[in-house]
Chains A and B, each alone.
Chain A
C-alpha cells in the first residue's frame, strides 16, 4: 500500500476534514473522505492536494477505484466543488470501475453524491456502483 496524496482542512487548529488517496498492492486506488466540510473556501486547504492528484493519478497502473464517503458526515455547497474536482479527476484520469461506499441512511449522500459524481453521464454511471453501509 502506498499513500499517493493527502489533503486536510483545519479549523481553529483542529483537523476537521481529511482526504487520502492510497494505492493498494492490487492496483486499486482508494480515496477516503473523512470529517465535515463547513468552511467557506476549502480550496485554500485542498488546492495542492487536487494538483497533486492530477499529477500522480496518470502515473500509476490503477485497475479500479474505491471512493469511501462512509466517514464523511457533512459537506456544504463550497465543499461540493472540491468533491466534484476530486471525483472528476478520478473519472478523467483513471480507468476501470468505481465503487462508491456511502452511509445507507444518510440522505445527503444518497441525494447529492450521485449529482456530484455526475451519474447523469452514461459513461460515468456505467463505471459506478454503490455500496451502502451503516454509519460506523
Chain B
C-alpha cells in the first residue's frame, strides 16, 4: 500500500510540476515526460516519442549538450561508479520553431542507462537580465564618456570634448568621431570638433561642405532620424551631393545621430570609417544618441555662458562710460574760468540742488586758493529759477568766498531768482550784485586789490 501511494504521489507531482520533467535514455530518446513539455514547448506526446534530446537543442548549444550526454552515458554504463549530476543551460526548440532557454538539472544513475531531467524555462529571466545589464552598462558608458566634458570649466571644455570623442571613436572602432555643430548665418555651415586614428584626417567632410551637400543630412537630423550607411552606394538619390562629398573624403561607412537637447537640434555626432566598411548596431546608435544629448546640452550651456559673459562685459563697459560721462558732466556743470588776473567767473546753468551746490562750492573755493583770486563772479543768467534751499546754498557760497579773503559777485540775476532771493531774511548787498557779466568784470577790475574781501557783502 505504501508503495502504491508513493507511486501515485509521484505521478501527481510529475503532472502538476510547471518545470519540464523527463526521463530519457543515454542515447537521448525520451521515455517519459510531463505535460509541461507541451505547455512550454508545444510538443505533444506523439512528437515527443519520436524526438531525441539533441533534436531539440539549438545548433549552437549542440556541442556542449553532446558532451554532457556522453558523460551521463558513461556514468549510466558503469555499474560501480557514482551517480553523475549535471547542471547545464541550453536553448530548446519549440513546436513553432523558436527557441526557449532551459536551465537543466540532470542525474544519471550508475548501471541504469537512464537520465532523469528537470528543466526550468529561464528564457524570459535571462532576457530581462540581459536587458537590465545592457541598460546599466550603457548608462555607465554614457556617464564615463560624458564625465570628460559635462562639468568642464570653459577653458577645459574643448579638451574634454576631444577626449570624449576619442573614447567613443575607440570604443566603437571608428576611424573618426566628431561632433558636428550646424549654424545658419546666411548659408548653412558646419563646425566640427573631431578625433581620428593616426593617418586619418581629423576634419570630417561636413566641415568643408556647402549648403547643397549638408541639406539632406540636416533634413534627416531635424526629423530625429539617424543615418547609418555601411556602403555609401546605399544612400538615397536625394543624398547624391552628400555621397559625392563623402566619397571625395575617402569615407566608406557612416553613422550620423542627432545631437539635440530639449527638442533643439544643434548638430550631430558622427562616426566614419575610411579603411574597411563597417556597420554599427543599435547599441552604438543608442550610445551616440545619449552622448549627443549631453553634447547638445553642453554646447548650449557654453553658448549661454558666453552670451552672459558678453552681457556682463557690455554692462561693465556701459558702467565705465557712464562714470566717464558723469565726470564730464560734473566738469561741465562747474566751468570755473579765470577771466582776469585775480578774477574767476563761474557761469551756472540749469538746476542747482544741494549736492551740485556743494560740489560747486568745493571746486570754486579750491580754485580761489590755487589762483589767489580776489573776486569770484557767480553768473546766473542760465538759471531760470531757484527754490529757497538753492538760494540758501548761493548765500552760503558767497559767505565761504569771503572767509577766504575774496569777494563774491553775483551777476545776471533773472526775475524768478530775484524773487526768491528777496524773500529770504538775509539779503545780498546791492554793491555786489551786477547786472550782467560785463558789469561784474568792470566792477572787479575797478576795485583795488586791498579792498577785496574787506567789505562785508552780507547784511
Contacts and interface: CB of A to CB of B under 8 A. Distances in A.
Interface of A: 77, 80-81, 84-85, 88, 91-93, 104-105, 107-108, 110-112, 114-116, 118, 121, 123-124, 132, 134
Contacts of B128: 77, 80-81, 84
Nearest to A78: B128
Nearest to B258: A105
5 contacts: A77-B132, A93-B96, A110-B286, A115-B127, A134-B224
Main secondary structure of the interface of B (DSSP, over half): helix
B283 interface: yes
B94 A92 contact: yes
Contact of A81 (B94, B124, B290): B124
Given A115-B134, A134-B224, A107 B97 contact: no
A33 B201 CA distance: 46
Interface of B: 42, 94, 96-99, 123-124, 127-128, 130-132, 134-135, 138, 223-226, 258, 260, 282-283, 285-286, 289-290, 293
B132 A107 contact: no
A77 B135 CA distance: 11
Interface centre among B131, B226, B285 (most CB of A within 10 A): B131
A102 B285 CA distance: 14
Given A104-B224, A104-B225, 15 more contacts: A80-B128, A84-B128, A85-B124, A91-B98, A93-B96, A107-B290, A108-B135, A110-B282, A115-B127, A115-B130, A116-B127, A118-B123, A123-B97, A132-B226, A134-B224
A93 B97 CA distance: 11
A85 B258 CA distance: 33
Nearest to B124: A84
Nearest to B91: A121
A62 B262 CA distance: 40
B260 to A, nearest CB: 7
Nearest to A79: B128
A134 B132 contact: no
B222 to A, nearest CB: 10
A107 B127 contact: no
Contacts of A123: 97-98
Nearest to A85: B124
Contacts of A81: 124, 128
Main secondary structure of the interface of A (DSSP, over half): helix
A123 B94 CA distance: 12
Contacts of B293: 105
Contact of B289 (A91, A107, A118): A107
A131 to B, nearest CB: 11
A123 B127 CA distance: 17
Contact of A107 (B99, B123, B286): B286
Contacts of A88: 98
A107 B98 contact: no
B189 to A, nearest CB: 24
B131 A111 contact: yes
A108 B124 CA distance: 17
Given A77-B128, A81-B124, A84-B124, A111 B282 contact: yes
Given A110-B285, A110-B286, A115 B98 contact: no
A114 B283 CA distance: 10
Given A84-B124, A84-B127, A107-B138, A121 B289 contact: no
Contacts of A132: 224-226
B134 A111 contact: yes
A84 B124 CA distance: 7
Nearest to A134: B224
A118 B127 contact: yes
Contacts of A116: 127, 131
Contacts of B124: 80-81, 84-85
Nearest to A91: B98
Given A107-B286, A110-B282, A132-B225, A80 B127 contact: yes
A38 to B, nearest CB: 15
A105 B224 contact: yes
A123 B99 CA distance: 9
B145 to A, nearest CB: 14
Contact of A111 (B42, B96, B283): B283
A67 to B, nearest CB: 16
Contacts of A104: 224-226
A128 B94 CA distance: 19
A115 B290 contact: no
Contacts of B99: 121
